[in-house]
Amino acid sequence: MFDWFKANTAMAIIVFGGLFVIGIVTVVAIVLRGGWKDRGFMVRDGHPLHLPASLPWTITVEPNVPTIYVDALNTVVLQLREKVGNIFDHVVQLQSGEVALDIKVLVAIDKDIDHPGETIHQFNKETGVIMSAFVSMWPDLSYADALKVATHEIGHVVGLDHDEHVSSIMHHMIQNRPQTFTDKDYERLRKAYT
């Protein structure tokens, strides 16, 4: 390979110079637009989305949701309870044919969504108070991916928006995403919910 560089010095300089320039332009573009975006809480109709003061909420899981997903959701609830407080009291899986009333957070399996997970809120447009949330997750995720998706989607349930940092659980891509919230996420949630 070194022989190729020796024989093609001009070409190597052009290729590496081009890559260097692309790198510099990328860094400058990020700096000029204000750096990486950590959006914090989602804003809809001019109001940051947040849960009401009537916490804790129960997370209700449809009967067809695999056990590893329920385990992942329980892990997220325990992490939030330990680091933030009692936002969610527990996870309840419905039995076949059972109907639950006053569901605040419902988790279901949906193979037709575009991403491994999706959260849809119902919220007060005048205040930003979240009234309920519906979370869909792909079927057949490994426990590690189910934990990443569950944590990310519960982040949306509590109002967190996407974060451009690839090291954040709130990054929009599942690849290389950690399995827990960052200290900054926990701090933000403590300020909002304690």
* Closest by CA position to 50, among listed 151, 169, 134, 156: 156
pTM score, two decimals?
A: 0.79
Ordered by start, the domain boundaries in the chain are: 2-32, 43-193
Q: What is the pLDDT of residues 34-90, one digit of tens each?
A: 445 667 899 999 999 999 988 889 999 999 999 999 999 999 999 999 999 889 988
Q: What is the pLDDT of residues 2-42, one digit of tens each?
A: 565 566 666 656 656 555 555 554 444 444 444 456 678 99
Superfamily of domain 43-193: Collagenase (Catalytic Domain) (3.40.390.10)
Main-chain dihedrals φ then ψ at residue 144, nearest 5 degrees? -60, -45
Q: What is the pLDDT of residues 106-141, one digit of tens each?
A: 999 999 999 899 999 999 999 999 999 999 999 999
Q: What is the pLDDT of residues 168-178, one digit of tens each?
A: 899 888 887 88
- What pLDDT is stored for residue 27 in this prediction? 45
8 Å CB contact between 155 and 119: no
8 Å CB contact between 162 and 39: yes
